[in-house]
Structure 1
Amino acid sequence: MAGLIAAVVGGIVAGCLGGSPLQVSGPAAGLTVIVAGLVDQFGWQVTCAITLAAGVLQILLGISRVGRAALAISPVVVHAMLAGIGITIVLQQLHVVLGSTPSGDAFGNLMSIPESFRDANPQAMILGASVIAILLSWKKLPRFFQQIPGQLAAVVLVTLLSIGFGDSVERIKFDGSLLEAISAPVLPQGMWGAVFIGILTVALIASVESLLCAVAVDKMQSGPRTNFNRELIGQGAANMASGALGGLPVTGVIVRSAANVDAGARTRASAVLHGLWVLVFSIFLAPVIMMVPQSVLAGLLVIIGVQLVKFAHIKTALRTGDFLVYFVTVTLVVFANLLEGVLVGVGLAMALVLFRVARSSVNTQRLPMQDGRAVWRVGIEGSCSFLSLPRINRELYSIPASATVLLHIEADFIDFSVLEAVEAWRSQHESNGGIVHVEDYGTRRLTDAAQGSPRRGFSTGVLSSGLAAWKRWQHPDVASGNSNVDGLPVLRGVSKYHQHNAALMMQDAKLLAQGQDPSTLFLTCVDSRVVPNVITSSGPGDMLTVRNMGNSVGGAGSDLSFEAALEFAIDRLDVNTITVCGHSNCGAMTALLGNDHLNDEGDAPVDQWLKGMFESRQALSTEHPVRLDAEAAGYSRIDQLALVNVAVQLENLSKHPRISARVAEGSLNLVGLFYDLSTAAVVRVSAQGIEQPDLLKQD
C-alpha cells in the first residue's frame, strides 16, 4: 500500500512539478535496502518523516541549481545503466513468465533459469509468450490498431484469454485498502545523527536516480528536454507528499518512463494520468487488477527490458574505445546495484578521459648521421604533465650519449615537472658530449612552465594547419640542424607541412593532379597579410588567384598578368564568379592617397602602377555610396579609399569587353570584398555601398 501511495504521488505531484515531462515517477527500487534498514531501525512512521525531510533537502538542491551536473555524466555510462537495468528485469521476469518465483538477486536468477524451464507452468508460459508475441507484432499492424498502445492491448487481450485457465496461473494479489494505509509521519525520539544520515542518504540517492533517469529519457525521445533543477524540485515535492501520506520514497523510474515513451507519450499529462489511473484502480477497481496474471505483466516487462539493451550502443562503445566502461557499468548494475554501478562507471570514464587527455605522444626516430655524429629526433606532442614523465624519461634516456638530438615539442599544456625533467636530461646529455636542439612549436612552450601556474593553450591543430604565421611557432632560438639552409623559415614550413598535412592532402592531390576546375577568379592585393583561402574557407582547386599591388584590374599601368589570367579563366576554365578583394591599412592606398605627383612624368615602377588607380582616388572626393557608407561606419581615410577602389575595379570589370556580355546576361557574377585586418572580418562591397558581416549568422 505504501508503494501504491508513492506511485500515485509520484505520478501526480512529480508529473505536474518536475522538469522532465515524460519521466514517470514512483516508488524507488534503488532505495529498497536503505528503506528496509530505516524501518528496522526507526519504525515505519519515523521513516516517513525521513522521506519528507529528504524531499525538503531535494528542493533545496534544486533551488541551488546543481541539477545540471547530471549532464556531465558520460553517455556511455547512461547507456550502460539502461542496459544493466534491462538485463536485470529480463533475468527476474523470465522466471515469472515461466510460472516460477524469481530469486532475490541477478546472479541467483541467472543460475536458476534451467530449473525454472524444467518446472515451467505451461499456462503461465503461454500467457507470457502471447504478450511478447503481441508486442513484437503490434507495430506491423495497420495504423488503425496502432492508435491503441500495444502494451495496453496486450495486457487486456491476454488477461481475457487467461479467464479460461482459472486458478492454474498466479494472479496479482491486492490486500488491504489504499485509504486505510494513509498514515502521518512521526518525529524520532533521539538518534538525530543517524536520522540526519538517513535523510542525506535518501535525498542523494533519490536525486541521483531521478536525474539519471531523466537523462536517459531525454535520449529516448526527441521532444522537450529536461530542466534538471526543476526536476529536483518536483521530486522533492513528491517525496514530501509521499512521506506526509505514509508512502515510500519517490524517484524517477526508468521502466515506467520507457513504457511511457514507447506508448507514444508527448506531454507531462501522461505521467499525471499514470498517477490518477493508479489511484482510480487501487480504490475502485481492485477486483479488475486481481484478474491480471503475473506472467502477463512479466511478459510486458521482458520486452521493456530487452528494448533497454541497444546493440547500437554496444557498437558505439566498441568503436570509440569505451567498451570497458560500458561492460563494467553493466556488470555492476546487474550484479551489485544501480548506484554503485553508475558511480564506478563515472569514475572509470573520468579516469579514461584523464588518460587520453593528460598523456602526451612521445616517439623517437634515428636520422642519417651528420659530420660523423649520430642524429636522433624526439617528438613530444599533446598535453605534457607529470603523468607523461615516465614515458618522456624512458625515451630521452634511451638515446646514446654524444648523439645530436632534435627535440621537437608541440604541446598545448606543459607543467613545471616536464620542464625540470627535460632540462635535467639536457644538462646530462650535453655534459656527455651530446648536442641538443629544441624545436618548441606548441601553444605552450617549455619556458612558459616556469612563468606561472600551467594553463592550456589554443589547439595545436591551428599551428599545424597552416593558419598560424611563422612567427607564432618559429623562434629565433630554434635550430633544426647544423645547416643554415635548414633554418630558413620557408623550408621549416615545408618540413612541417610534410609532418602534419601532406597525408591529409593526399586524397585531394590525386584528384587535382588530373586537372583544375575552379569556379572563381580571385583578384587581391600582394599584401602578405591577406590569405585568400583562409578568408574564403576554400581549398586547392577552388579559386584561380591573381595578386597585384592594390588589386587593380588595369588602367594606365595595365597588368598583363591579370589580363592573361582573365582570358584563361573565362575562355578555358569557364569560371562563374570574379572576385575583387581589397584590405585595410593597404600600402598601395596609402601611397595613392599621399602622392600628389601622379600626373608628373616619372619612371618609378610604383608611380607608374599607381596611375592606373587614379580613378579610385578621384571617386573618393565624390558622393560615392561606398565612401559614404565607409565614412558612416568609422573607417579611416585610407580604408575608405580601399573600399572605393574595390567598387571602381568592379565597375571597370563590368565594362570589360571580354566579360561585359556575360555580366549583363547574368552568367557571370562580380563580387567585391574588403578584409578588415583589425577585426579579421570580411565586408561585402558593391556599387550601392558596403554590407557589414553578420558575425552571429551560422550555416
Structure 2
Amino acid sequence: MKRYWADLGASVVVFLVALPLCVGVAVASGVPAELGIVTGVVGGIVVGLLPGSTMQVSGPAAGLTVLVADAVGKHGIEALGVIVLGAGLLQVLLGLTRCGRWFRAISPSVVQGMLAGIGLVLVFGQLKHLVVAPVALALGLLTVVIMLLWQRTPLRVVPGVLVGVVVCTALAAVFASPVDRISVGTLSTDVHLPDFSLLDTGVVGTAIVFALVASAESMFSAAAVDRMHDGPRTRYNRELVAQGVGNTICGLLGALPMTAVIVRSAANVSAGARTRASRVLHGVWLLLFVVLLPGLLTLIPVAVLAAVLVHAGWKLLGLREVARLWRTDKAEGFVLVLTAGLIVATDLLTGTVVGLLAAVIKTAWDVSRLSVVETPEGVALKGNATFLRLPRLLDALDRVDREHVRMDLSGVRHLDQACGQAIDQWVDESRRAGRTVELVGR
C-alpha cells in the first residue's frame, strides 16, 4: 500500500510539472494550447500502460518544437495529424524490427549538439514575446527568477515552474496588466481526424524526420532515466513500440507529437515513484484539467510561458557539458558546435545529418591512426593502416634507400586493401630493382 501512496504523490508532482510545459510547447509550436495537453494525456495514460520503461514519462517535448513549428508553417496545421500518425506507425515498425537499441549508437557530441541547437532556436524564438513591452519583459524575468530561487527552498517538492507561472499569472490578473494571454479553443473543434488528402512527398518526408528525431530523443531519455533509479531497466524495442502507439493515437486526434521527456521523467523519479502507475495517473489529472478547467489557461500571459520555454531552452543548451567536452576533446567539441550552429542557421535535419557525417569522418580518422617509424633496418608500422593514411605510408616508403630492407608489420592491427596493395606493389618494385625485402608479421 505504501508504494501506491508514493505513486499517487509522484503523479501529482509530474502533473504540476507537465501542465505548463504541455501548454508552453503547444504555443511555441504554433498550435492550440489544448492540443499540447491532449498529447500529455495520451503520453500518460496510453504509453504509461504499455511495457517498455517504468519510470520515464512521455508528452510534448521542447526538443520537437522547432520541427513542429516548421512543419505547421510549411504544410499547415491540418497536415499535422497525418505527419504524426505516419511517424507513429514508423516508430512501431522500427520497434517491431528491433531497431530500438540502434538509436543509442550515436555520437554524444552530435546528441549534445542537437540539444544545444534546439535550445538556441527555442530561446531565440521566445525572446520576441518578452521584448514586446516592458510589462512582458518584467513578467518573464520574474518567472525565471522565481523558478531558479524556488529550487533552493524547503518547499521545492512543488515544481518551481508551476510556482513561477501561478505567481506571475496572479500578478498579471491583479494589476490587469496589458499583455497577450493564451487563447484556448474547444476540444470538439481542435481535436479532429487526420486529412489524408494532404498526403504528399513533403508530408511523408516530414513524418520520417519526426519519427527518427522523436525515437532518438526517447531512447536517449531512457538511457538517462535508467541511471537515476534501481528499478527495472528499459526494454528499448518495446519502449519504441509504445512511443509509436502513442504518436499514432496523437496523429488520429490531430495533436502534437510526443517523446519521452527527461524533465518530467526526472521529476517522477525524484518524487519517489515506484511503478508505472504514477505516469498513468499524471495523464488522468491532465485529462480532468482539460475537461473541467480549460478556462484557467486563458489567464496565463504569453510572456510567462515564453520565459518557461527560454529556461527550458537554456537547460537544453548545457553550457557546462559543452565546455567540458571542448576541454577534453577539441574534435568532439567541433562536431558539437558544428551541429548546433547548422541547426540554428538552417534546420534540425540538416544540422543533425551534417553533424553525424562529421562524427563519422572524425571516428574514421581516429581509428586510422598509423605510426610509420623509419628504423636503421628499414621501416616499422604500428596501428591501423587504412586508405586515409596511405599518403603518409607512401612518403615513408619512398624515402627508404637501402639494399636490404626490413619491413616490420607486427604492430599493425588492421591493414585495409588499399594499404595492402600499396605495400605489395612497393615490395615487388623494390625486388625488381635488386633490393632484398624482408617482411615481418605478415
TM-score, normalized by length of structure 2? 0.78
User: Structure 2 counterpart of 1:240, which letter?
Assistant: T
Does 1:202 find its partner at 2:207? Answer: yes
| Secondary structure, aligned partner of 1:322 | helix
| Secondary structure, aligned partner of 2:60 | strand
User: Structure 2 counterpart of 1:64, which letter?
Assistant: T
1:297 pairs, out of 302, 305, 327, with: 305
CA contact (8 A) 1:210 1:251 kept: no
User: Structure 1 counterpart of 2:257, which letter?
Assistant: V
CA contact (8 A) 1:12 1:272 kept: yes
Of the structure 1 ranges 316-325 and 199-208, higher mean CA displacement relative to structure 2 is found in: 199-208
Partner of 2:382 in structure 1?
Answer: 381
Paired with 2:51 and 2:172, the residues of 1 have a C-alpha distance of 38
Partner of 1:158 in structure 2?
Answer: 168
Paired with 2:342 and 2:281, the residues of 1 have a C-alpha distance of 34
Does 1:406 find its partner at 2:406? Answer: yes
Partner of 1:169 in structure 2?
Answer: 179
| Secondary structure, aligned partner of 2:440 | strand
Partner of 1:94 in structure 2?
Answer: 127
Deviation by residue 1:436-468 (Cα, 9 ceiling, x = unmatched): 34332xxxx3xxxxxxxxxxxxxxxxxxxxxxx
Report the Cα offset of residue 23 of structure 1: 3.8
Q: 1:136 to 1:6 in 2, by over 3 A?
A: closer
| Secondary structure, aligned partner of 2:258 | strand
Report the Cα offset of residue 396 of structure 1: 0.4
Deviation by residue 1:7-49 (Cα, 9 ceiling, x = unmatched): 4323432333263432422375324434555559xxx3x7645
The 5 A counterparts of 1:522-537 are none
User: Structure 1 counterpart of 2:415, which letter?
Assistant: I
Larger helix share, 1 or 2: 2
Report the Cα offset of residue 81 of structure 1: 1.7
Report the Cα offset of residue 199 of structure 1: 4.7
Paired with 1:416 and 1:151, the residues of 2 have a C-alpha distance of 58
Partner of 2:423 in structure 1?
Answer: 422
CA contact (8 A) 1:211 1:228 kept: no
The 5 A counterparts of 1:659-670 are none
Q: 1:312 to 1:290 in 2, by over 3 A?
A: same
The 5 A counterparts of 1:33-48 are 33-34=70-71, 37-39=74-76, 44=78, 48=81
Report the Cα offset of residue 196 of structure 1: 7.7
Once superposed, what is the RMSD of the aligned Cα atoms? 3.1
Q: 1:124 to 1:78 in 2, by over 3 A?
A: same
Paired with 2:346 and 2:44, the residues of 1 have a C-alpha distance of 28
Report the Cα offset of residue 162 of structure 1: 2.2
CA contact (8 A) 1:259 1:304 kept: no
Deviation by residue 1:88-114 (Cα, 9 ceiling, x = unmatched): 22222233233x3xxxxxxxxxxxxxx
Does 1:343 find its partner at 2:353? Answer: yes
Deviation by residue 1:384-434 (Cα, 9 ceiling, x = unmatched): 23333222111101223x454332221122234433322322333344454
Paired with 2:308 and 2:82, the residues of 1 have a C-alpha distance of 35
| Secondary structure, aligned partner of 1:146 | coil
Paired with 2:306 and 2:76, the residues of 1 have a C-alpha distance of 29
Report the Cα offset of residue 322 of structure 1: 0.9
Paired with 1:335 and 1:274, the residues of 2 have a C-alpha distance of 37
Paired with 1:19 and 1:379, the residues of 2 have a C-alpha distance of 52
Report the Cα offset of residue 166 of structure 1: 1.0
2:105 pairs, out of 72, 92, 101, with: 72
The 5 A counterparts of 1:501-540 are none
Q: 1:268 to 1:204 in 2, by over 3 A?
A: farther
Deviation by residue 1:116-149 (Cα, 9 ceiling, x = unmatched): xxxxx222222211122122222322x3x12212
Partner of 1:250 in structure 2?
Answer: 257
CA contact (8 A) 1:18 1:235 kept: no
Deviation by residue 1:59-78 (Cα, 9 ceiling, x = unmatched): 23211111111111112221
1:360 pairs, out of 370, 378, 387, with: 370
Report the Cα offset of residue 79 of structure 1: 1.7
| Secondary structure, aligned partner of 1:290 | helix
CA contact (8 A) 1:51 1:199 kept: no
Partner of 2:115 in structure 1?
Answer: 82
Paired with 2:201 and 2:168, the residues of 1 have a C-alpha distance of 48
User: Structure 1 counterpart of 2:104, which letter?
Assistant: L
Paired with 1:125 and 1:47, the residues of 2 have a C-alpha distance of 32
Partner of 1:132 in structure 2?
Answer: 144
Paired with 1:87 and 1:36, the residues of 2 have a C-alpha distance of 19
Paired with 1:88 and 1:152, the residues of 2 have a C-alpha distance of 23
Partner of 1:222 in structure 2?
Answer: 228
Identical-pair percentage: 32
Report the Cα offset of residue 379 of structure 1: 2.1
Partner of 1:516 in structure 2?
Answer: none
Equivalent pairs counted in the alignment come to 396
Partner of 1:311 in structure 2?
Answer: 320
Paired with 2:157 and 2:142, the residues of 1 have a C-alpha distance of 20
The 5 A counterparts of 1:586-601 are none
Q: 1:32 to 1:135 in 2, by over 3 A?
A: closer
Paired with 2:424 and 2:86, the residues of 1 have a C-alpha distance of 59
Paired with 1:326 and 1:360, the residues of 2 have a C-alpha distance of 26
Deviation by residue 1:312-344 (Cα, 9 ceiling, x = unmatched): 343224413311211111112223222332222
| Secondary structure, aligned partner of 2:188 | coil
Q: 1:262 to 1:395 in 2, by over 3 A?
A: farther
Report the Cα offset of residue 258 of structure 1: 2.4
The 5 A counterparts of 1:490-569 are none
Deviation by residue 1:647-679 (Cα, 9 ceiling, x = unmatched): xxxxxxxxxxxxxxxxxxxxxxxxxxxxxxxxx
| Secondary structure, aligned partner of 1:362 | strand
| Secondary structure, aligned partner of 1:248 | coil
| Secondary structure, aligned partner of 1:166 | coil
CA contact (8 A) 1:123 1:169 kept: yes
Paired with 1:122 and 1:303, the residues of 2 have a C-alpha distance of 19
Deviation by residue 1:173-219 (Cα, 9 ceiling, x = unmatched): 22x2113433334554xx9xx65874575155324323324304533
CA contact (8 A) 1:214 1:226 kept: no
Paired with 1:37 and 1:218, the residues of 2 have a C-alpha distance of 33
Q: 1:187 to 1:123 in 2, by over 3 A?
A: closer
**Which of these two proteins has the greater Rg computed from alpha carbons?**
1
User: Structure 2 counterpart of 1:248, which letter?
Assistant: A
State the structure with bigger RCO (CA 8 A, min sep 6), 1 or 2. Answer: 2
Paired with 2:322 and 2:146, the residues of 1 have a C-alpha distance of 26
Paired with 1:72 and 1:128, the residues of 2 have a C-alpha distance of 39
Q: 1:150 to 1:416 in 2, by over 3 A?
A: closer
Of the structure 1 ranges 163-172 and 347-356, higher mean CA displacement relative to structure 2 is found in: 163-172
**Please, which runs of 5 or more residues in structure 1 have no aligned partner?**
101-120, 366-374, 446-699
Paired with 2:267 and 2:345, the residues of 1 have a C-alpha distance of 27
The 5 A counterparts of 1:383-398 are 383-398=384-399
Partner of 2:27 in structure 1?
Answer: none
Paired with 2:136 and 2:277, the residues of 1 have a C-alpha distance of 34
User: Structure 2 counterpart of 1:88, which letter?
Assistant: V
Q: 1:133 to 1:35 in 2, by over 3 A?
A: closer
Paired with 1:314 and 1:19, the residues of 2 have a C-alpha distance of 34
